Amino acid sequence: MPPRKRGQSVGLDRSVILDAAAEVLAENGSSGLSMRAIASRLGVVPNALYNHFHDKTELIDALLDHTLGQVPTPLGGDPRTDLVGIMIATFDTLAAQGALVPLYIDRHGSRGPNAVALGKHMVQSFLALGLDETTAQRAIYVLIVQAIGFTAYGVSAPNPQANRAAFIDSLNWTLDGAIRSQ
């Protein structure tokens, strides 16, 4: 295909760029996720991306939150079952993105709207379980760090199955502890 002329619009937007980034990440891993590789996959010059993201960190943050948007939130069953369901779904969704989480951690990621929404859902479940607000916030923080920690560590884990099983143990122990602490 012939190179575009200057100024010719190409229909780039955040969503298209994020999809391309996910593909590059899946194919080439975190070290291969460069702005240049994403641009190249879109048939575009690297600096074109900067019209849609301020820098690479913002792109990675957006990609993580975009991923979090795919986590299904169970609606209103038993609160504890809901919490377990949300956390396992979060783990599996992040784990499917491979090296994204380590990259996110290294780039000082901030939480996006989907992360916030997930957090709100969890507060409700904890309140229904009888926790006060501050204890609920603490428990949620612990659960989030664990989910991120296990997915990040799982990328290089020799046995992904064992890593997932360890996460589920950790999850249940945390729920028991948080509930018992009230």
Partner DNA sequence: ACCTGAACACCGTTCAAGT
The listed partner (a copy of itself, DNA, none) that binds 36, CB under 5 to 8 Å by sort, is: DNA
Residue in the structure block whose two tokens are 């048939």: 43
The residue from 26, 30, 41, 52 that contacts DNA (CB under 7 A) is 52
CB of 98 to DNA, least distance (A): 17
Site size toward a copy of itself (CB under 8 A) is 33
Report the phi/psi class of residue 130: left, alpha or beta, with left for phi > 0 and alpha for psi in -120 to 50: left
Residues within window 73-112 making contact with a copy of itself, judged by CB under 8 A:
99, 102-103, 105-106, 108-109
Residues within window 159-178 making contact with a copy of itself, judged by CB under 8 A:
162, 165-166, 169-170, 172-174, 176-178
The residue from 1, 2, 5, 158 that contacts DNA (CB under 7 A) is 5
Residue in the structure block whose two tokens are 């290294």: 106
* Residue 91 CB contacts under 8 Å (≥ 6 apart), including other chains: 147, 150, 151, 164, 167
The residue from 23, 27, 29, 46 that contacts DNA (CB under 7 A) is 46
Cα–Cα distance, 14 to 24 (Å, whole number): 15
| Contact (CB, 8 A) for 57 and 132 | no
* Residue 16 CB contacts under 8 Å (≥ 6 apart), including other chains: 42
Residues within window 85-144 making contact with DNA, judged by CB under 7 A:
none
**x-marked contacts with a copy of itself along 42-71 as a string, rule CB under 8 A:** ------------------------------
